[in-house]
Structures are given as structure tokens and as C-alpha cells.
Structure 1
Amino acid sequence: MISKARITAIGTYVPDKRLTNDDLAQMVETNDEWIVQRTGIKERRIAAEDEFSSTLAIKAIEHLAANSKKSLEDVDFIIVATTTDDFSFPSVAAQIQKHFHMSSTGVFDLSAACAGFTYGLHLANSLITSGMHRKVLVVAAETLSKVTDYTDRTTCILFGDGAGAMLVEYDEENPSFLASHMGTNGEGGIHVYRTAMSEQMNGEPLKTNGKMVQNGREVYKWATRTVPGAMAELLKKADMTIEELDWFVPHSANLRMIESICDKSGAAIEKTLTSMVPYGNTSSSSIPLAIQLGLYDQKIKEGDSLLLYGFGGGLTHLGLIIKWNLPSY
């Protein structure tokens, strides 16, 4: 089905507090050289005690509204991708609706971990192209610092907090969405998880302290094996070659992982946008944060083609090829 949806605005937010590699060296046995060599990350942003995923989401949406001058009153659906919701319920999306006084709006939170933002955009495109809705707000918001185990040096060096938002509207003449591709390997879910009620997965006992648990080696192997082939399928659907892309925007998990994905897929590292160096791994928020940095640096131009690829917990992945139809900064 030909898309009838266009991305019309973007906004992001990161907390003020910085957690540098040198700061982490005071907490666990690590150092700046060790972290940069393995991940590329220099620092992360950390939410304040009274900042939660809804707080970050609202500030990202305020940034979107201020930059674009777009009205939010007629938004008719809100999708929030998060793994760190303030409450089991009400949803972060419902809290956004309350804050902005949107009068007639459907809402839900989406749990797809690091693929959450691309899932949200994919669903927004579907809702609008089907004719069910005309203006959808897609938000990714994470406060991973609140669920990170700062005694585990293999994971605490990775994660930071942040939020991003995009407005998707009906536009039959100039749509943004060119192709999509997705997949899931539920058997691999045990390699990155955070417990809620269950104490077992695949019949195996889980750590149940409420903190994030990750087998980085297994996640790395899965991502570098899966994503390049999935990118090839996505490009085939769009009838494009990788050389025709202007920018590759993967989930900013780890710079070494992204270098491997680029090497195997043929994507040029100099045409790859990330957000992990200043912000760390922000899960679902990493892709909009990377796009925002690309806009600030005047890299992304109106009319550029972008391949977005989210991948992570589930294990799940979803990629999109979009045309960037917003004016340059």
C-alpha cells in the first residue's frame, strides 16, 4: 500500500546531568579508554530524581511544538515507545494527553525496546494510510538510569536517558514512508530483559531485582548477523541500492556493533548517524536523538533518504526507509 503519511516535525530532550566515563570509573572498575575502545561512548545524560519518562517525553514534545509552530490540539493518536514507563498504568501516552489537553485522542504505550521508535513510526504510517487517523504523535522516552545496575560494569557503562518525538500527518502528495521490514526472534529474549512478574523465561530462572540484565556478547552476535541481511531486504522492497541512501540511522547501541553492521551491509560509516557518543545507549530514543544531531550539524537536508533501523530486546527489529520532507535547519 502506498503511504499517505508524512513526518512534519521533530523534537528531542535530554536531561542536564552528565555521567562521564571518568565518573563511572569512580563507581566500578573501568576507565575512559576501556569504555571508548569497546563502545565509543564518552558520556550519558541522567534524569533527575523527579524526572521520569513522561517528564522527558513532554519536554521533547514542547521542543517539537516550539520549533515547528505546529498545533497539538488536533492530534488524534499518541504512541509512546518506552521500556521505562512511570507506572504499569496509566500509560505515558495518557499522561501526555493530560498535559497537553488534547480533547479527542487515542493513546497507548508500545513495548518493543530499542526498536520501539521505528515500530511507532510504522504504526503511525499504517493508521494514517488506512484512513483511520490524520495526525499521530510518535514519542520515544527512556529513563534507563533508573533500571541500570551500577554495580555491573558490563551494562552500566552503556545506558543513558533521553526522549524524542515526531509528528506524522496525512499527506497523500508528499509521503515520507517508502518501505519497511521487520522480524522477531523470541527465543533470544533471554539475552536482554528486565523482570516484571515472571521469574522464568524459556524454562530458565531469571534475575528478579527489577534491573536490566544483558548478555552483550549474544546480543552483539544476533544484531550483527541479523541486521545487515534485513537491511538488504528493506532496500529491495524500496527498489534502492545502499549507495542511493543519503543516511543510515541505526539504533545507537554500541559503536563497534554499528561498525560491524556497516561493514557487512555495505553502508558507509561516514554516512551513518548515531547518538551514542554524547548520550550513550538510550534504547528507543536513540534514533530520533541521532536525527536531531544530524539536523543540528546540517548534515540532513530536505529530500534526503534515510534508512532507520531499530533492533534490541525481544529480540525484535524493524527498519524503515523514509524521505526527509522537512526543511533544513
Structure 2
Amino acid sequence: MFIHASGEYLPERVVDNDYFSRLTGRPSPWFEQLTGIRQRRRAGEGENANSMAIAAVKHLLRTGDANLEDIDLIIGASYTPWDTIGTIAHVLQREFSLANARAMYLSTACSSFIDAIDMASAYFASGRSTKALVVASEHNSLYSSDGDEKSGHLWGDGAAALILGNTPGKLQLEVLDTHTVGLADRGKGPFGITMVPRDGGLVMHHGKDIFVHACREMAGMARLLLERNKLTVGDVRLVIPHQANKRIIDSVADDLGLAPQRVALTIGELGNTGCASVAITLHRYAHKLEPGEYALLIAFGGGYSAAGALVRRAP
């Protein structure tokens, strides 16, 4: 399976740590020291997960050498939907006149984007699809409370889009392997973080439990994919982790023995953009891969779940 093109959308509004300092009374540097986040983007009036998804696809079409002809599968990935019936995938199908494509919504928390790639791979392998549009879009600020001292300062909004095909594209990125797994039986599982719209919205109940399992499972996912493909950490040019917390990313990098320059980061300027974080970071870093070089995508999601993908630029 090949990545033909990618695009992103980030809202214009920038919220820095001074804003949360005024809300909570904590000094502004505290937030960056705890999370690595300096600022984050927030959706504006009239924006939502659906509109940001559309904008990401439009950016892809403007900047990528690709088109939406022959799309037969649309997967919208998110845990912060604007509408659970008129989903991201259905809105994209209508907006871009993608007749007769399968349209579906997928949510496995912050693993959702990589899970969507895994699902597209399965459709390709079964012969039921040949070209897919995968879009990850998160509107965290719709459901979170800025006054929540545990996690209100973490969340950013944004979206990214990919076109996947079963034949090579001009971008020359190949998805060699994917793996996803549910981990709801581990730790606090479904109770670590919840997003109940009518009962407090997005709340992180057990941050320490999430931290421990995220560090362990993302490193484990990286090792699994490397071993399965007879590679070592030294063979990987870039690791593109879920951008939840810089301390988690640092822990995973240390566990794997990765030098800082081999870890892709967007968390400082974008915050935690949920499942869109890996997609946005991939879009921003893919050009750094030289022919034959590998990248590892890894994520941990609330609930719990983990996901990974091994990508290579064609030699």
C-alpha cells in the first residue's frame, strides 16, 4: 500500500501558555516543563471536525500531486466528532462528489488514524478497495474545559488527510506493515480518560496510568514492527509518535535508544491534537526521508489501544 499525497489543516487561533497561566494561577513555564507544549491551535467560530477535515483535503489537493478520482473508500478518524450520523466520511463524500465509495467513521481514541490505515490495508489486501481517502480530524476544544487543571492545557485542534493506493504514487511512500491492538484489559483501560458529551466532556481521570501504559506500549509497538520486518532501531530514520506529552515521547525515545534528531515533533507548537497528531506530523516530516529510509508511526489511545505502521520511501 502506498501514500500518494497528504495535507493538513490547522485553525488560525493560537493559544499560548500565558492563557492557561491566567486561568489556573500556575506560572507559564510550568506547562511547557510538564508537557513540552508552548502553544496549541483552537478551532474558530463555525469550525468543527467536519469542516477541518474538508479543509485538510482541500490543502492536499492544492499542494499534493494527486486527485480524488477513483476513491472507493473513505475513512474518517476522530474521537471528537461534530456529528455521529453525518460523519466526517459522509460529509467528505458529499463535498467532493465521491460517488459509490464506502464511507465509514472509525474511533479508537488517539490510535484512530493508524487504525484507519490498517483498515484500508485490509480492504486493499482483500481486493475490495484500490484507492482510499483517510482523514483524521480532532476538535478537542469542543469537548474539553480549559479550566480543567489536569488536562485542559493539553488539547489542540487540527486535521490531516492522506490518499492511499494499492499502486505506487509520485510521493513514493510505501506502507510496509501495520499492527493494531486493543488493550482495554490493561491498567485503567476504558476509565483512564473519558469523553462523555453530557457528563463533563473530555476528562483525564488517571493521567499517571495513561502515562505509564503509553510509554510501555508505544515502545513495544515499535519493537514488534521492527522484529517482524527484520529491522533494528538503527535502520529507522524517523520515529513519528503520537504527540500527547513530550515526557512520554522522551521516555519512548530513551527506551528505544533513539537520538533526538530521529524523533519527529510537533507537540511544542500544536499541543495534543489527538489521532490527528501522527497524521499532521507525518505530513510535516515525510520529506525528510531519503530513498530507502524507514519511518515508524506509533500511537497509544485511551480505552486503551495501540497502533503502529512501518513506512519507507521507495529506493
3-state SS of paired residue (2:275): helix
Of residues 43-52 and 298-307 in structure 1, the stretch that sits farther from structure 2 once superposed is 298-307
Q: Distance in 1 between matches of 2:221 and 2:271?
A: 24
Specify the alignment match of 2:109 in structure 1.
Answer: 113
Q: Is the 8 A contact 2:38 2:269 kept in 1?
A: yes
Specify the alignment match of 2:222 in structure 1.
Answer: 231
The size of the alignment, in residue pairs, is: 310
The verdict on how the C-alpha distance between 1:196 and 1:245 changes in structure 2, with shifts beyond 3 A counting, is: same
Of residues 72-81 and 27-36 in structure 1, the stretch that sits farther from structure 2 once superposed is 27-36
- Cα-to-partner distance string for 1:248-294 (whole Å, 9 max, x where unaligned): 00100100111001111223222000211110000111012112332
Per the TM alignment, residue 302 of structure 1 is displaced from its structure 2 partner at its CA by 4.5
Q: Which of residues 99, 108, 126 is equivalent to 1:130?
A: 126
Per the TM alignment, residue 175 of structure 1 is displaced from its structure 2 partner at its CA by 7.3
Q: Is the 8 A contact 1:73 1:103 kept in 2?
A: no
Specify the alignment match of 2:309 in structure 1.
Answer: 320
Q: Is the 8 A contact 1:287 1:308 kept in 2?
A: yes
- Cα-to-partner distance string for 1:38-85 (whole Å, 9 max, x where unaligned): 111010000012000011111110111111242213211100110111
**Structure 2 unmatched runs, 5+:** none
Q: Is the 8 A contact 2:7 2:56 kept in 1?
A: yes
Q: Is the 8 A contact 2:160 2:280 kept in 1?
A: yes
Q: Distance in 2 between matches of 1:62 and 1:325?
A: 26
3-state SS of paired residue (2:128): coil
Residue 280 in 1 paired to residue 249 in 2?
Answer: no
Residue 98 in 1 paired to residue 94 in 2?
Answer: yes
RMSD, aligned α-carbons? 1.9
Specify the alignment match of 2:24 in structure 1.
Answer: 28
Q: Is the 8 A contact 2:221 2:298 kept in 1?
A: no
Per the TM alignment, residue 157 of structure 1 is displaced from its structure 2 partner at its CA by 1.1
Specify the alignment match of 1:189 in structure 2.
Answer: 190
For 1:318, give the aligned amino acid. Answer: A
The verdict on how the C-alpha distance between 1:143 and 1:224 changes in structure 2, with shifts beyond 3 A counting, is: same
Q: Which of residues 238, 249, 261 is equivalent to 1:247?
A: 238
Specify the alignment match of 1:209 in structure 2.
Answer: 200
The alignment's TM-score, normalised by the length of structure 2, stands at: 0.93
The verdict on how the C-alpha distance between 1:325 and 1:27 changes in structure 2, with shifts beyond 3 A counting, is: farther
For 1:212, give the aligned amino acid. Answer: V
Residue 289 in 1 paired to residue 284 in 2?
Answer: no
Percent identical residues: 29
For 1:283, give the aligned amino acid. Answer: G
Specify the alignment match of 1:180 in structure 2.
Answer: 178
Q: Which of residues 5, 12, 16 is equivalent to 2:12?
A: 16
Residue 81 in 1 paired to residue 72 in 2?
Answer: no
For 1:316, give the aligned amino acid. Answer: S
Q: Is the 8 A contact 1:135 1:168 kept in 2?
A: yes
Q: Distance in 1 between matches of 2:265 and 2:69?
A: 32
3-state SS of paired residue (2:158): strand
3-state SS of paired residue (2:105): strand
Q: Distance in 2 between matches of 1:301 and 1:141?
A: 28
3-state SS of paired residue (1:166): strand
- Cα-to-partner distance string for 1:167-194 (whole Å, 9 max, x where unaligned): 0012179771222233222131200111
For 2:60, give the aligned amino acid. Answer: L
Specify the alignment match of 1:62 in structure 2.
Answer: 58
Q: Is the 8 A contact 1:8 1:325 kept in 2?
A: no
Of residues 23-32 and 8-17 in structure 1, the stretch that sits farther from structure 2 once superposed is 23-32
Q: Distance in 2 between matches of 1:226 and 1:287?
A: 16
For 2:178, give the aligned amino acid. Answer: S
